[in-house]
Amino acid sequence: MTTISQRQLQQAFDAPAASTRLQAALAAGTSPQPGFAPSLVAQCGREPDFFVRDMLTWALTRHDHTEVVELVLPELRSAEPQARSQALHTLTKIADPTTWRAITLDLLRDSDDEVARTAWRAAAGLYPEEEKPQLAKVLASQFGRGDRDVRLSLSRAFAQLGPAAEGVVARARHHPRESVRAHALATERIMADPEEGFHSAYW
């Protein structure tokens, strides 16, 4: 499938087979058409298959970025965690520096781990340099949260922030909670040596 109409796109998204939905998203990105973006954004919020969601985001990056950003930003306030997470992921791929303010404190502290992880990654990439020290302070409130994958995601966000986060991470090594101290120490190792740290810093 290389070309697709709006009607065919929606029919494919309603199909039970993930392969059909994947091909539709691929076609929508290969041959972008006016009117596709709203359908792609809507499908992001309900698509159950990871690979299809990834293709949907790719397809959105092939459309007009201004239009896509306008459609994606309201999704950050959705009641559905998947819609919030996928919207954040799409913003990281579009990489419009003007969207950093949309990654709010609520998203950075979202109760859903996947949303929070995606928000950390998006913020680390999109926040301007002068805002990164304050971002690091917010992210430090999440030390000790979640399982290994969640903690590794936070450490990677700190590593991406670099020098702007060093003081905050150093102070967290003296936190009263052992889990916070351990997470901060692991984060320092990752910041010092990302390649080695990702494999050895976590228990």
Would you say the C-alpha torsion 138, 139, 142, 143 has a positive or negative sign?
negative
106: Cβ contacts below 8 Å, ≥ 6 apart: none
Alpha-carbon distances, residue 121 vs 11, 91, 160 (angstroms): 33, 10, 8
Residue spans of alpha helices (H) in 6-80: 6-13, 18-30, 36-44, 50-61, 65-72
| pLDDT for residue 197 | 57
| pLDDT for residue 138 | 97
What stretches in the chain show pLDDT beneath 50?
1
| pLDDT for residue 3 | 80
For residue 17, what is the DSSP state?
-
| pLDDT for residue 155 | 95
Question: What is the pTM assigned to this prediction?
Answer: 0.91
Residue positions counted in the chain: 203
Contact yes or no for 127/158 (Cβ under 8 A): no
- Cα distance between residue 121 and residue 126, in whole Å: 9
- Cα distance between residue 105 and residue 83, in whole Å: 17
The type of residue at 79 is A
Q: How far does Cα 67 stand from its chain's mean position? A: 19
Query: How many Cα neighbours within 13 Å face the side chain of 77?
Result: 5
| pLDDT for residue 126 | 97
